[in-house]
Structure 1
């Protein structure tokens, strides 16, 4: 029970961007799980520690933890943990510019997820790398419908605010590329508002800085400021409306 409490506390800290606290809670949960012989709990906890390393900017440490988590998941038949590992590995590979490996990991995550009953967040977790990998393989226009569909499922499923923010930010990235900067700016700042002051991870922060520079260049400071204000006021329903309108204007249809 103490291990479960620590794990839940780690989840809450992660949702608030408090990575040091989350790491402490997950490490304690892992220690307790091993202490009582609950080995099947270990793979997910190790994977979460790997996620913290990635979000803190230590990719080698993250990859090492994910490899350990994958081995433990295979040993104890923890399918949920393997799906999570593969999804996060896809995101890491994409960040390193390896679209081929990112696609392989994404498909492996999907395959593992189909073998269990994952929570609604898992659909969003798959939609994110799937959309970004598709954009890297082809064009932003090709990846946009996958992210949009992920958002359409995540909002009514009441996924965590950070999940919605991550998907919305990626939609903004892809909209900026086909030259829809005003809508991209609104969605970027709608996502920022959903974070409610929670800090971005290091990889997210680097991309956000690049996106904001691109938006300022495309719109100019005055219009950028107006779109920023408008975006921060958008509700979840408004965001879905903006995404659908962006697809229509770009002539993009869900396959």
Structure 2
């Protein structure tokens, strides 16, 4: 019964859309964790939700408004030279305030704002799928080129400074990619579900993988497995997808922590 629903044409577009995001967002999360900026995901997500709601108020697709708002935040952060999670804390506060104020003062209303937080994957349309596919393509093209530069900037910052390399440009490039990922993920899955995909698989992989490549591969694999289990469970139990995804990923994290701790002495 679950398999028949899982491959039902009614849910096929949503399934593929989420599957693409589940493979990409954890990889971006691994890089954010490497840079000790994992809170960026939540900062970009809040601003993306506010931008998506504002875009809807002007008749634009949610994903377009979200990408514009998150991308503008990434550019502003790069221009200001801010680093660390404090910058993203201010993004969270600003995005949260803007989201609620826009919802309360526009015709789109608070219900759509709530939907952006809770998730609406089952109602994903062609625009969401196209955006997820473009994100996957951009990540596959850009990240392999950016990755060694980001690793060197993190592990050997003196080398880049001594050679005058444009580190801020590389960081801005990744920030824009992460912002787009969170905006697209928030528009399709909801704010907290997208954040969970960025944080939890990368957190597990960082603690269990033997190398950086395995960390990236493990993050993507955990994201896909958690997503498929959540999608099937949400359909079978008639539950909202976003909270189910967060719950499944938390169970995976708790299971890993219990196994890693080992039996009590």
Alignment TM-score > 0.5, same fold: no
Normalising by structure 1, we get a TM-score of 0.30
Normalising by structure 2, we get a TM-score of 0.29
